[in-house]
A = this chain, B = another copy of it.
Amino acid sequence: MEAFSDGVFAVAITVLVFGLRPTGNGTLTQQLLHSWPQYLAYVVSFITIGIMWMNHHTILAHVARVDRPLLVLNLLLLMGVVAIPFPTALVAEHLQHKGASATAAAVTYGLVMIAISFGFAGLWIYVVTHAPSLGASLPPEALRSSIPGFTGGLIAYVVGTLIALISPLAAVIIYGALGVYYLFEHLPSPSSEAEPDPADG
């Protein structure tokens, strides 16, 4: 399952490059400068998918055995991750258009992120609640202690989506910040003795 998931993450993060191409009028230099929302959307989505991959990896590292429900939950999560280039392209194209289309693009981005947050929560809750049968060594407290971090991230994506109604650009910056947030608010590592994590120290 991990090889397949890694492949999906790798392809999804790489196809983001198709969102980069000069648009608008004028010389090529003017077009390249004018296309800054593409670069912003590329960076935000690249960091987001990359950090999602890390956290996905951390979740699966707890698991020694895989069952069908876990595969299905993983598939539903990947369905959201694979979709990310879609709202990324919307934001890249419409962020500069004042008004309703920029808002629609940023709201769509937020809705995809909210769906993915539920996907991650579902996968993690399943792993923790089925720890013994999955060969995981997680105590039930692991779930409770990770709930605030997950819930906080989900609420922040909802707030970001609401802010998109007022300022689409601010919302996109919030989405990028949330990617970085998940870098630090990470799950318990599977074997903290074997892999000391300097970020914790």
Contacts and interface: CB of A to CB of B under 8 A. Distances in A.
A16 B198 contact: no
Contact of A27 (B21, B82, B101): B101
Given A28-B100, A42-B83, A104-B28, A10 B13 contact: no
A46 interface: yes
Contact of A83 (B20, B54, B72, B197): B20
Contact of A100 (B29, B42, B72, B108): B29
B4 A89 contact: no
A183 B71 CA distance: 10
Contact count band on A: 35 or more
Nearest to A66: B195
Interface of A is mostly: helix
A139 interface: no
Interface in A50-95: 50-51, 53-54, 57, 65-69, 71-72, 75, 78-79, 82-86, 89-90, 94
Given A27-B101, A82-B17, A198 B94 contact: no
Nearest to A9: B4
Interface string A4-37: 1011111111111110111000011100100000
15 contacts: A3-B3, A4-B9, A8-B14, A10-B11, A13-B78, A17-B82, A17-B85, A21-B89, A28-B94, A32-B104, A46-B82, A50-B79, A67-B199, A130-B198, A133-B196
